Amino acid sequence: MTSPGLKTPALTSRLPNVGTTIFTVMSALATEHQAVNLGQGFPDFDCDPALLDAVTQAMQAGHNQYPPMPGVPALRQAMAAKMQALYGLRCDPVSEITVTAGATQAIFTALLAVVHPGDEVIVLEPCYDSYVPNIELAGGVPVRVPLTPGTFRPDFGRIAAAMTSRTRAIIINSPHNPSGTVWSAADMLRLQELLAPTDVLLISDEVYEHMVFDGQLHQSAARFAGLAARAFIVSSFGKTYHVTGWKVGTVVAPAAFTAEFRKVHQFNVFTVNTPMQHALAAYMASPAPYLELGAFYQRKRDLFREGLAQTRFRMLPGEGTYFQCVDISALAVPERDLSEADFCQWLTQEIGVAAIPLSAFYGDGFDQRVVRFCFAKKDDTLREALKRLSRL
Ligand SMILES: Cc1ncc(COP(=O)(O)O)c(C=O)c1O
């Protein structure tokens, strides 16, 4: 694109510390070495054919032009009905629900809508990799508070200590990527109590809301009136219906928050693809697919954990999400002493299974000898991975 004599002006990066994400790096390495890719978090199986049929029908019915800016009304109504049925939250689909291009956009737009330059936003590490760059792009200051090492439970003492007069928001994520922990009702009540006397907003990333195991309930912020009144509650159809590539999600927030959210949304994404929204609205008529998702993934978790139990990986609890974390320090190979990142590279190249180092979810690269596997895979894929891992 450049030629002699033409000058390309130099840029000063808005995100100087951001490079290619570990997920892209590990997926490329997995392809290069024909490794089983348990790194990046997406299913290797397809969605319900009925959902694909619904998209075709929507396209053939002519739903191919811009939908309303906040989203197709039928989809927002279906979301409102779900929020009430599952979490007891009455929300207005007209003024309190917006359809987004996935959860990542929802979180970024929420931050752009509420964060002013210099505002602080608390993130609980390890955390999903978009949060911190999003806060920075919004002009905010990320304040990193660690979840308790080893258990990954929230440390309310440290959260309270991190709150200042400049704190604008806190981002939470339960069920939690990468650790697979799930916040209890007591955790949510503690948070509600902590935030009650403040003007701190809550961004509740609930993309794994339907992947909670062993009879536990997802404790959505929607169940807690004091939290819902100050929250952006973020969901993702990609995770729930095995269509991560569709990038469709929602954000539920009080009308005043939603109004500000939509001011940003309309000049950025504006609208989300129409036929998918119609298809999702029709598909949501039955709650069975999301109500059965927990059992579906619990079976895969159990299959994967049974295999891992035959190895020297020490498994961390897996209460929710489609991730299983393991401690590598008791393995009988010298590579157990490598950094998490180097271990994952070795595991991909030599053992043929890709994983993600937990250090990738910390700003300072904190290394605790733990790596993350994704079990949103066909049983055969999981068995093949386990066969390879059985050497360890
Ligand atoms: C915690 C968390 N939030 C958000 C997302 C992104 O969701 P979406 O694909 O709907 O943007 C992911 C995807 O991996 C995630 O793990």
pLDDT over 70, % of the chain: 100
* CB under 8 A, 24+ apart: contacts of 228-233: 228/89, 228/254, 229/254, 230/195, 230/200, 230/201, 230/202, 230/254, 231/201, 231/202, 231/203, 231/204, 232/106, 232/107, 232/110, 232/201, 232/202, 232/203, 232/204, 232/257, 232/261, 233/83, 233/204, 233/206
Q: Give residue ranges with CB within 6 A of ligand 1.
A: 41, 102-104, 128, 173, 177, 205, 207, 236, 238, 244, 247, 249
3-state secondary structure of 240: helix
| Mutate which of 23, 40, 42, 104 for ligand 1 pocket (most atoms within 8 A of beta carbon) | 104
CA–centroid distance, 24 to ligand 1, in Å, is: 15
DSSP 102-134: HHHHHHHHHHHHHPPTT-EEEEEES--TTHHHH
CA–centroid distance, 323 to ligand 1, in Å, is: 13
Number of helices (H) and strands (E) in the chain: give both, helices first. 15, 13
Residue 176 to residue 241: CA distance in whole angstroms: 18
Helix-helix angle 49-60:274-283, to 10 degrees: 130
**Nearest residue by C-alpha to atom 13 in ligand 1:** 41
CA–centroid distance, 370 to ligand 1, in Å, is: 21
Nearest atom (ligand 1) to Cα of 104:
11
- The residues of the chain scoring below 70 in pLDDT are none
Contacts of residue 308, Cβ cutoff 8 Å, sequence gap at least 6: 315, 324, 326, 386, 389
